[in-house]
């Protein structure tokens, strides 16, 4: 797939967005190696936009450069928060078992 520069977006932006979407959707799994040359060839761009995209993804914690291994997908750096009811039940259990464990409470 050859990409062309779109209005207001650079080739690096387009490669970055495509890689980011692939990582966030799970198409690229944690531990998977990313080769700069292969990505550049697949998107029909030089390696410079790919390097720029890698820098941005690394800053977000989605990939990392490992010595002697290259660029590796880290995956999501966070987990979604628990549902509110689950969080409330956990706090209540903490309060009941040890009232001093919950700061700012005046539970008798």
Q: Are residues 63 and 15 in the same domain?
A: yes
Tell me, yes or no, whether 86 and 36 share the same domain. no
What confidence tens digit (pLDDT) does each residue in 27-42 have? Answer: 999 999 999 999 999 9
Name residue 33's beta-bridge partners: 72
Cross-sheet strand order for the sheet of 33-34: 33-34, 70-73, 63-66
pLDDT for 99: 67
* Claim to verify: residue 84 and residue 63 sit in the same structural domain: no
Number of compact structural domains in the chain: 2
Same domain, 84 and 66: no
pLDDT (tens place) for every residue of the chain, 108 residues total: 545 555 678 999 999 999 999 998 889 999 999 999 999 999 899 999 999 999 999 998 899 998 888 899 997 766 666 677 877 788 778 777 876 666 665 655
Please indicate, yes or no, if residue 28 is contained in any of the structural domains: yes
* Residue 32 domain flag: yes
95 and 59 together in one domain: no
């Amino acid at each position: 797939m050859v990409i062309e520069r779109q209005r207001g977006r650079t080739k690096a932006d387009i490669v970055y967005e495509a890689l980011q979407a692939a990582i966030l959707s799970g198409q690229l799994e944690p531990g998977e190696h990313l080769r700069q040359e292969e990505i550049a060839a697949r998107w029909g761009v030089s390696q410079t936009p790919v390097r720029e995209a890698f820098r941005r993804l690394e800053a977000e914690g989605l990939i990392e450069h490992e010595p002697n291994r290259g660029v590796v997908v880290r995956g999501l750096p966070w987990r979604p928060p628990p549902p509110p009811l689950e969080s409330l039940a956990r706090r209540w259990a903490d309060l009941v078992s040890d009232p001093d464990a919950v700061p700012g409470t005046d539970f008798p």
